[in-house]
Amino acid sequence: MAFGFIKDTQNKTTGAADHGLVNTDAYIDINATEDLGGGMKLSGTFEFNADGERKAKAYAGDKSLVISSPAATFALANTRSGGNQGAALVAPVNLWEGAFDVGNVITRVAIDAAAVSIPLTPAITASVKYVEASNDGSTEPGSVTMVYGGTYAANGLKATLQYNVTNFTDGLKAALGTTDPRTASTDLSVIYNAGIATLGFGYDSARRGKANGTDEAATLLGVSVPFGNFSAGVNYAKRDTSSFAQVGVQYDLSKRTNLNASYGTYTTGKGAVGGGDLVQDTTKVSLNHSF
């Protein structure tokens, strides 16, 4: 749960700015684990999100069931896309407008996924994921994606590379405005903990679902530096004419409670919002606690 003071400014857009003291986050995560024997276990997670607004209805967030063993892991999840590239944004930033809400750098959609990951060596894991993108329970998914990935994790370094191949329905093609959308993309995240600092690099090639020649790759950078109970860092990302930069400083009062001050500036290119540029600056100072 978090309470914060927010100041938003927006230019060249019809949206109203947000100001004042706000209950910005109110999540309840329910986690359960069962030992199945033989080195296997079942884990489940269910998230409620109250969205911080009085009288607003709580809604379901991420949900997952995972069966794991020393030989392989099988996971079923209802979540959102974009997590691999976004992992590179390692700075202690806590903003009302996060990396995925403004700026058009990373596109996130609701997905249902089934994934298998197999450790090939102590440091290397291979994975295959089946992903449907649509509202949960839709008669027909708007797209079906196969994700082929590999992760290397050792000596403070974690790198994940994914290759994504998508089939779109004719209805979604019409909604996208193209009969021949791009169907393949590559994304990468590299995170290195050097002790004195954690560095992140992310890459996302031209997005699937766009017509060829209409999109560029995204680059994401992050750095976080600890100073005892303090940590500070910067995130930056850019795609085409859209970009954002974020700065965060955090003081850990305990393992579950912290004070955070964050600032972000977002720019979206012409035509994205109301026919003009969107330039938004947002500031948030918050007290955060995990029960």
User: pLDDT tens digit string along 197-228?
Assistant: 999 999 999 988 888 778 889 999 999 999 99
Query: Among 41-45, 97-101, 117-121, 257-261, which is the least confidently predicted range?
Result: 97-101
> Quick one: pLDDT at residue 56?
67
What stretch of H or E contains 161? strand 157-168
Residue 53: predicted pLDDT: 63
Q: Is the dihedral of CA 35, 36, 40, 43 positive or negative?
A: negative
Cα 235 to Cα 57: distance, rounded to the nearest angstrom:
32
Three-state DSSP class for residue 84: helix
| pLDDT given for residue 235 in this prediction | 96
Number of helices and strands (H, E) in the chain?
2, 17
The mean pLDDT of the chain is: 85
How far is residue 171 from each of residues 34, 140, 174, measured CA to CA in Å?
42, 10, 5
What is the rounded average pLDDT of the residues 83-108?
80
The answer to whether 62 and 78 have CB atoms below 8 angstroms apart is yes
Domains and CATH numbers, the chain: 2-289 (2.40.160.10)
Quote the CA–CA distance of 88 and 190 in Å, as a whole number: 7
- CA proximity to 105, closest of 219, 16, 233, 17: 219
Q: What is the pLDDT of residues 70-88, one digit of tens each?
A: 999 999 998 888 788 889 9
Residue 12 has pLDDT above 50, yes or no: no
Instruction: Give the E-state strand segments of 26-142 in sequence order.
Output: 27-37, 40-49, 59-68, 73-80, 110-119, 124-133
pLDDT surpasses 50 at 38: yes
Q: Render pLDDT for 144-200 as a digit per residue (tens, 0 to 9).
A: 999 999 999 999 999 999 999 999 887 778 777 777 888 999 999 999 999 999 999
Closest to 56 in 3D by CA, of 26, 92, 90: 26
Least confident of 28-42, 111-125, 258-272, 273-287: 273-287
Q: What is the pLDDT of residue 49?
A: 79
Reply yes or no on whether the pLDDT at 99 is more than 70: no
Q: What is the pLDDT of residue 79?
A: 87
Task: Report CA Rg, the chain.
Answer: 20
Q: List, in order, residues 6 or more apart from 162 with CB less than 8 Å away.
A: 84, 147, 148, 149, 186, 187, 188
